[in-house]
Chains A and B, each alone.
Chain A
């Protein structure tokens, strides 16, 4: 958000609504953010806050009602099939559930061979096999053991690594990771997060990391966006936002993160239902004004 480099993807006041009046749901309201190569943007918020809607907008799974996506300086055109195919090649997704996002009937090698055949046309025969091995090694899986296996023979963490390799096989420049570790065991989570960090650094990938676990967001991301009710309520440098939250909703969210230092019996830790409702109410009101806290830390005006 405050880097001098050119953003690879920019969302400019993108809105998405579902249904029609009077049952209209504003899932994303004038959402703007930028993704930069080699940086991770974390998108946090509770369920229903619009974070997955944003992911789907980035994936072009939804067409925005308003606003536009600017990819490498040019608006993404829906009419131009070739440009759109190029866009889809560059923007890849890692899903939350590693148990259902691989085809159970195919081997791991097949999962990687298909995107290579389709998207890297210059590779022939043996080169493809070599590339599969290279990809699996990059995600720290042993090709000799893993390539001939089927998904059910792998653990959740291994499957998520295969998913990461698959995005690379297509030739992704932007990876959208929707809660990639929430279904993994705690002991393998960090391994997957480290891998994402490493790839971001080595391959200059731009990462959009969607989560409701702020602690893991801090582990992988440089920038953060906090969403509530389809709006971005606070954004900026992740350490500044976490250490000095200014928006009431961000404060509420951070105060509810489990902290072993504070017992539930402690009155300080006690959330009052009335306060929570009040924060939710004022945070849901649309407001176009933003307040600058620091040069890379902003909040949406409340009240």
Chain B
């Protein structure tokens, strides 16, 4: 078996409190292969976003990584100094945040926001950046001549695609997507994720996909990890998580989704 692209080993993260610490991530280990989409599912507060932030060391106090390793191609992210971290972030690990469509700067043209990233990381001049921007916008089905527009001139789905395009502009090895489409409606969600899936095949990046929507996750991901209260309780292929869930919590999680066809729902969290 080849070496995984991203390997998380025995990661433990605490939120430091005045009297007691809260263990948000407890001894979690998983691997993401090159070109794979790995999903992390769980309820809010289970630590999935904490992991996402820790991967690019964007976690802030009071979060503290107690122990463990985050290896990207064998290099431990936790050992990087500030200089190395700057070139590591975005170029190797890019991130699409929750409600990313609101993470664009409202007073800058889209073009300027691309230029910012491209100049900082690759030292491009305006002309080169414009060419790259046009190329990236085409990838996500947005007409390049709209790069001079402001974020508010785009719809929510388009803004989300622009954010994804900015993420991919530096050819990252892995993109962390934290609930990338939660605020969007289903048709737009489908279009965006379909496009991400195609781009992944074409460009070969990996995706760490975080959501609470298990149905969507099974459609998109190759493998899925289920988290409960900071622990990774089950990890398997998407088909197995859907067809043959092992852990009780996974079964309960499935039961709490009303389905579109057949019986309305199985016995679950209903109370």
Measured CB to CB, the residues of A under 8 A from B are 46-47, 140, 185-191, 193-194, 212, 214-216, 218-219, 242-243, 252-254, 256-260, 262-265, 269-271, 273, 276
B187 in contact with A253 (CB, 8 Å)? yes
- Of the candidates A215, A252, A270, A276, the one whose C-beta lies within 8 Å of that of B260 is A215
Highest count of chain B CB atoms <10 Å: which of A186, A188, A257, A273 = A186
Given A186-B253, A215-B259, A258 contacting B186 (CB threshold 8 A):
yes
A264 touches B197 (CB 8 A): yes
Query: How far does the Cβ of A220 sit from chain B's closest Cβ, in whole Å?
Result: 9
9-residue interface stretch from B11-19, B49-57, B125-133, B263-271? B263-271
Q: For A189, list chain B residues within 8 Å (CB).
A: 256
Decide yes or no: A256 and B187 within 8 Å by CB, A187-B252, A194-B271, A264-B197 being known contacts: yes
Q: Check B212 for interface membership: any CB of A closer than 8 A.
A: yes
For the complex of A and B, the 6 pairs showing the least CB-CB separation, nearest first, are A258-B216, A260-B218, A46-B185, A219-B258, A258-B215, A256-B190
Name B residues whose Cβ lies closer than 8 Å to a Cβ of A.
43-44, 141, 156, 184-191, 193-194, 197, 212-216, 218-220, 238, 242, 252-253, 256-261, 264-265, 268-271
Do residues A276 and B191 form an inter-chain contact, with CB atoms below 8 A? yes
The CA-CA distance from A214 to B219 in the complex, in Å, is 18
Residues of B contacting A265 in the complex (Cβ-Cβ under 8 angstroms)? 197
- Known: A191-B269, A264-B193. Contact between A218 and B212, CB under 8 A? no
Contacting pair A270 B194 (CB below 8 A): yes
Complex Cα distance A189/B44, Å?
Answer: 13
| A188 lies within 8 A of B188 (CB) | no
A187 proximity list for chain B (CB < 8 A) = 43, 252-253, 256, 268-269
Contact yes or no, A258 B185, CB < 8 A: no
Q: Is the CB of B215 within 8 A of A259?
A: yes
Q: How far is the CA of A193 from the CA of B269 in the complex (A)?
A: 11
C-alpha spacing A219/B257, complex, angstroms = 10
> Cα distance A219–B269 when bound, in Å?
14
Q: How far, in Å, is A199 (CB) from chain B's closest CB?
A: 15
17 A/B residue pairs, CB under 8 Å, sorted by A: A46-B187, A185-B44, A185-B212, A187-B252, A187-B269, A188-B269, A190-B258, A190-B265, A190-B270, A194-B271, A215-B260, A256-B190, A257-B186, A263-B219, A264-B197, A264-B219, A270-B194
